Amino acid sequence: MRIVQVAAEFAPLAKAGGLGEVVVGLTRALNNLHEDVEVIIPKHDLIHPKILENARLEIPDFKCVENGRQIANAAWQIEAEGCKLHLLEARHPSGYFHRGKIYGCDDDVPRFLYFCRMVAEYLKLKNQPIDVLHLHDWHTAALALFIRDLMSLDVKVGKIVLTIHNIEYQGKCAVQDLNAVGLDGVSYLTSTKLQDNDPNYPETINLLKGGIVYADRIVAVSPTYAKEILTQTGGFGLDSTLKFCKSKLSGILNGIDLSLWSPESDRHLKHHFSSTDALASIVKAKRKNKEELIRRFQVSSVATPWVGAVTRIAEQKSPELLEEALVQTMRLGGVFVLLGSSPTPAIQSHFEALKQKYQGHPQVILQLEYDDALAHQIYAALDLLVVPSKTEPCGLTQMIGMHYGVLPIARSTGGLKDTVVDCDNGLKPSAERNGFLFEKATAKEFTETLERAILLYKTNPATFQNLMRCGMHLDFSWTKPAKEYLKAFSASVKMIGFNTVQLSPIMEQNKAATATKPKRPSAPRS
């Protein structure tokens, strides 16, 4: 099968979170299953120049239209992490992918719409039939419109598959944004196409909705998330569209890339360990990894356990409970470690203030930046990993943590619910239990669970270590998910004709609203 994946990220070259890791892990696993896979991402300026030394200029100059102007672009090809990667360079006057970051700019919608146009033009020039065009999140969803509506004769694509990594980000914009890249914006402003489902904003275009409507298959990144996004609270306004497209939706749990994440061979660790070692050796190696951090950050050598998180400090990740974890871990005599930064300036400055407050404290390590090597070293040292997310589509950190002998303390949602089994869950065999779960994202429930975990660590090390062992033995590799993706790629689906679908009640409601609502001057951007 010839599969082309299109995404905003590819780890470790250009990574902001889990998406980049998923793209590389899935691609490698599909390659191992002898599929022909290529990946296309923007040529972000944050890709290290050393990596680009091996890049080959594939197409030196191809044009894209934006607001009637012809803009020059180039395509580069590179072999990265064992994958065939194409980097599309926009020589755009606004420096679209020269921002020192992947997302978080005011013009993210025009930037990624432009990227979709670039990919469409590039695929047209390449003129090679594609069995599966695999899109990831709203950033690439509009590519489906170009392929099916504008270039169906020029780019032969069998199936379009959309993976939803996070439904909270939808790429909301205005008709003019579609016009800018050469699409007929107003023709998409219907309830069966890209019109946002919020009846208060009938003029708003929703790119992720477009991906959902146009895709032949939709994959959510865990089975529980596939169910949650069909509900009113979990669908963030797209539940009615997803319900309507339910026959093409499934949930596939992400894997972790074991060539990057394996405590026996991790290039960032001085002290390796493996799930097949004796428990005493694992504990000893983890202690040595703690000592490295004790020396580096000058924290207490006697305080235990080590509790921490490696995370984007986004609202979704419950920043208030991460702070609670810090306070409670200190109270209970442990060391708290947080590696993370926030896309939200107010949250970032709050944590900067906490860092000031606890500067030099022997029980606190707060590193408010992105540091891949340190992330590996922290997982290898921690005893407990807190993942108190309000929503968590899949979550990679709990799986990485378990693989490194860390017990997760997680809220029971999305992929956390699919991977963490509470140590007191009497309905599951003890060999399947691997951590601690709580239901409500409240300080009370979280603290009770943290206390339960620390009590077990302090009073019953044998049981605690057995739980570590259970987590380390789980198979989080990409092999199984890649096979499930292949099934999804080849499953026959009933195609939905965009012009002939029956309207759901909410869509009818939107249609009526469009007719009566006044125009909003500008649509929300994200």
Query: What is the binding site for ligand ADP (CB under 6 A)?
Result: 17-19, 21, 310-312, 339-341, 370-372, 375, 394-397, 400
Question: Please, are residues 220 and 193 in contact by the beta-carbon 8 Å criterion?
Answer: no
Taking the complex as a whole, the smallest distance from the CB of residue 422 to ligand ADP amounts, in Å, to 20
Give me the count of residues in the chain: 526
DSSP3 helix / strand / coil % (the chain, rounded to 5): 40, 20, 40
Taking the complex as a whole, the smallest distance from the CB of residue 312 to ligand ADP amounts, in Å, to 4
Measured from the CB atom, the residue of 141 and 400 that comes closer to ligand ADP is: 400
The 3-state DSSP class for residue 260 equals: coil
How many angstroms separate the CA atoms of 293 and 308, rounded? 13
Q: Which two tokens stand for residue 74?
A: 């180039």
Taking the complex as a whole, the smallest distance from the CB of residue 426 to ligand ADP amounts, in Å, to 29
Taking the complex as a whole, the smallest distance from the CB of residue 243 to ligand ADP amounts, in Å, to 25
Taking the complex as a whole, the smallest distance from the CB of residue 79 to ligand ADP amounts, in Å, to 23
Measured from the CB atom, the residue of 166 and 510 that comes closer to ligand ADP is: 166
Measured from the CB atom, the residue of 149 and 371 that comes closer to ligand ADP is: 371
Cα torsion through 237, 18, 110, 208, rounded to 10: -30
Measured from the CB atom, the residue of 21 and 121 that comes closer to ligand ADP is: 21
Measured from the CB atom, the residue of 9 and 203 that comes closer to ligand ADP is: 9
Measured from the CB atom, the residue of 117 and 317 that comes closer to ligand ADP is: 317
Q: Which two tokens stand for residue 140?
A: 């690439």
Q: 219: which residues sit within 8 A by CB, 6+ positions away?
A: 161, 162, 163, 164, 249, 250, 251, 252, 485, 488
Q: Which two tokens stand for residue 452?
A: 């339960």
Strand partners, 41: 87
Q: Which run of H or E residues covers position 120?
A: helix 108-126
Helix ranges restricted to H, 301-361: 319-331, 345-357
Strand partners, 2: 36
Nearest to 160 by CA among 175, 149, 174, 172: 149
Measured from the CB atom, the residue of 19 and 80 that comes closer to ligand ADP is: 19
Measured from the CB atom, the residue of 377 and 510 that comes closer to ligand ADP is: 377
| Beta strands 407-411 and 384-387, pairing class | parallel
Cβ-closest position to ligand ADP: 18
Taking the complex as a whole, the smallest distance from the CB of residue 235 to ligand ADP amounts, in Å, to 18
Measured from the CB atom, the residue of 163 and 311 that comes closer to ligand ADP is: 311
Question: Please, are residues 121 and 94 in contact by the beta-carbon 8 Å criterion?
Answer: no
Taking the complex as a whole, the smallest distance from the CB of residue 165 to ligand ADP amounts, in Å, to 7
Amino acid at 348: Q
Taking the complex as a whole, the smallest distance from the CB of residue 351 to ligand ADP amounts, in Å, to 11
Strand partners, 174: 204
How many angstroms separate the CA atoms of 484 and 486, rounded? 5
Measured from the CB atom, the residue of 110 and 408 that comes closer to ligand ADP is: 408
Taking the complex as a whole, the smallest distance from the CB of residue 521 to ligand ADP amounts, in Å, to 32
Question: Please, are residues 172 and 525 in contact by the beta-carbon 8 Å criterion?
Answer: yes
Taking the complex as a whole, the smallest distance from the CB of residue 354 to ligand ADP amounts, in Å, to 15
Between the two ends of the chain, the Cα-to-Cα distance in Å is 34
Question: Please, are residues 44 and 52 in contact by the beta-carbon 8 Å criterion?
Answer: no
Dihedrals phi, psi of 15, to nearest 5 degrees = -130, 130
